[in-house]
Structure 1
Amino acid sequence: MLLPAWELCLYGLLTVGSHLYAFYEAHQVSRKYEAAMDRRFGLDPGTLFRGLKKDPMDFEWSYWVEWGRERILWLLAGHLLVSQMSRLLVEKYKPWCLMVYGMAACWLLLGIKGFAVILLHAAISFAVAQFQLSLLTWLCSLILLATLRIPAVEETKRRWYDTENEYYLLLFTVSVRCLFCTSFCLEYCWHAPAQKSSHSFPWMLAYVFYYPTFHNGPLVNFDEFSKQMRRQEAFSVKTNLIIFIVGIIRIFFWWCLAELMIHLMYIHALYSSALPLESASYWALGGLALAQVLFFYVKYLVLYGVPGLLLRMDGLKPPALPCCVSLMHSFTKMWRSFDVGLHHFLVR
Structure 2
Amino acid sequence: MRERVDLNKLETVFYFIAWSGGIFYGLYQLFLAGVYFEDYDDAFNDFGPGWSWVGRKRDISDIEWSLWIPFMYQLIPWVTLHLTFSQYLKWSECSSTIICCWYIAISVAFLCYYAGGVAMIFLLTQPCIACLLTSFRSKRIAYVIHFATLGVIQLSPTLEIVIQDWLMLQEDVYQMIVIAVCWMQLRTISCSIDNITDYKHRNIVGFLKNFIQSTAYCLYLPTLFLGPFVLYSDFIRGIEGPFKPWTFRRISIFILNITRFTFWIFFTDLSMHFIYCNALQYHPDFVAQLNPWAFYAMGYAMGQYFLNKYVVFYGTYGEISRADDINAPPPPKCIGRIHLYSEMWKHFDRGLYQFLIRYIYVPIASMEIPLKKILASFISFGFVFLWHGVQLFIFTWSFLNFLGLTIEGIARSVGNTPGFIDWEEKWLTSKNIRRFHCMLASPLLALSAISNFYFFAGQDIGNIFIYRIFHDSPKAVGILLFLLYCCCQVSTEMKNRETGRETKTDHDDIEKRM
TM-score with structure 1 setting the length:
0.91
- The answer to whether residue 274 in structure 2 is matched with residue 270 in structure 1 is no
Three-state SS of the structure 1 residue aligned to 2:116 is helix
Cα pair distance change 1:191/1:58, threshold 3 Å: same
CA 1:195/1:315 → structure 2, altered by over 3 Å: closer, same or farther?
farther
Residue of structure 2 in register with 1:157 after alignment = 164
| Map of 1:81 onto structure 2 | 84
Contact map agreement 1:125 1:140 (CA 8 A) in 2: no
Confirm or deny: 8 A CA contact 2:137 2:199 kept in the other structure. no
Deviation at 1:90? 4.4
Q: Is this contact kept in 2: 1:41–1:269, CA < 8 A?
A: no
Of all paired residues, the percent bearing the same amino acid is: 23
Going from structure 1 to structure 2, the CA distance change for 1:325 and 1:236 (only over 3 Å counts) comes to: same
Cα deviation for residue 40 of structure 1 reads 5.5
Inter-CA distance 286–9: structure 2 relative to 1 (3 Å threshold)? same
Counterpart position of 1:94:
99
Query: How do 1:304-343 residues align onto structure 2 when only pairs under 5 Å count?
Result: 304-343=314-353
* 1:127 to 2:152 alignment: no
In the aligned structure 1, how far is the partner of 2:12 from the partner of 2:286?
36
Distance 1:140 1:310 in 2: 32
Alignment partners' CA distance in 2, 1:334 and 1:171: 26
Find the counterpart in structure 1 of residue 402 from structure 2. Answer: none
- Of 164, 170, 173, the residue aligned with 2:177 is 170
Q: For the Cα contact (< 8 Å) 1:261–1:295, is it kept in 2?
A: no
Q: Partners of 2:277 and 2:86 in 1: how far apart?
A: 39
Query: Contact conserved, 2:83 with 2:320, CA < 8 A, in 1?
Result: yes
Distance in structure 2 (CA, Å) of the matches to 1:157 and 1:3: 58
Whole-Å separation in 1 of the counterparts to 2:346 and 2:253: 26
1:57 aligned to 61, 83, 86, which one? 61
Aligned residue type for 2:105: V
User: Gaps spanning 5+ residues in structure 2: where?
Assistant: 359-514
- d(CA) in 1 for partners of 2:110, 2:149: 23
Counterpart among 287, 293, 298 of residue 303 in structure 2: 293
Quote the offset at 1:83 in angstroms: 2.7
Equivalent AA in structure 2 for residue 55 of structure 1: D
Q: CA deviation at 1:102?
A: 2.0
Tell whether the 8 Å contact from 1:121 to 1:144 is kept in structure 2 after alignment: no
2:49 counterpart residue number: 45
Within 5 Å, which residues of 2 pair with 1:108-147?
108-147=113-152
Report Cα offsets for 1:53-92 as digits up to 9, x if no partner.
12122221111012223x2223222223223333333454
Asked if the contact 2:222/2:321 (under 8 Å) is kept, the reply is: yes
Structure 1 residue 20 corresponds to structure 2 residue 24:
yes
The alpha-carbon distance between structure 1 residues 24 and 124, as it changes in their structure 2 partners (threshold 3 A), is: same
Note closer, same or farther for the CA distance 1:204–1:162 as it changes in structure 2 (3 Å cut). closer
Give a deviation string over 1:178-224, Cα, whole Å, max 9, x none.
11111000011122559994971111112111111101211111011
- Structure-to-structure mapping, 1:140-289, within 5 angstroms: 140-148=145-153, 149=156, 151-152=158-159, 154-192=161-199, 197=206, 200-289=210-299
SS at match of 1:277: helix
Alpha-carbon offset, residue 48 of structure 1: 8.1
If the length of structure 2 is used for normalisation, what is the TM-score?
0.63
Q: More deviation in 209-218 or 234-243?
A: 234-243
Where 1:38 maps in the other structure, the secondary structure is coil
Unaligned runs of at least 5 residues, structure 1: none
Cα distance change, pair 274–153 in 1 and its aligned pair in 2 (3 A): closer
Q: Distance in 1 between matches of 2:150 and 2:19?
A: 43
Q: Using the alignment, how far apart are the partners of 1:271 and 1:169 within structure 2?
A: 23
After alignment, is 193-202 or 90-99 more displaced? 193-202
- Do the aligned residues in 1 keep the contact of 2:30 with 2:295 (CA within 8 Å)? yes
Instruction: Tell me: higher relative CO, structure 1 or 2? Use CA pairs within 8 A at least 6 residues apart.
Output: 1
Shift of 1:237: 4.8
State the secondary structure of the residue aligned to 1:263.
Answer: coil
Distance 1:195 1:323, change over 3 A: farther
Distance (Å, rounded) in 1 between the aligned partners of 2:201 and 2:119 = 35
Larger-gyration structure (1/2): 2
Judge conservation of contact 2:90–2:243 (CA < 8 Å) in 1. Answer: no
Name the CA shift for 1:225/1:164 in 2 (closer, same or farther; >3 Å): same
Change (3 A) 1:274 1:202: closer
Higher alpha-carbon deviation: 78-87 or 254-263: 78-87
Aligned Cα root-mean-square deviation (Å): 2.3
Which one-letter code corresponds to 2:72 in the other structure?
G
1:41 Cα deviation from its structure 2 partner: 4.3
Q: Secondary structure at the match of 1:264?
A: coil
Shift of 1:322: 0.9
Match for 1:141: what amino acid? H
Residue matched to 1:35: 39
Q: Secondary structure at the match of 1:154?
A: helix
State whether residues 19 and 287 of structure 1, in contact with CA within 8 Å, keep that contact through their aligned partners in structure 2.
yes
Tell me the alpha carbon deviations over residues 95-135 of structure 1, each in whole angstroms, 9 at most, x when there is no partner.
Answer: 33223222222222221111111112211221122111112
Distance across 1 between alignment mates of 2:180 and 2:91: 30
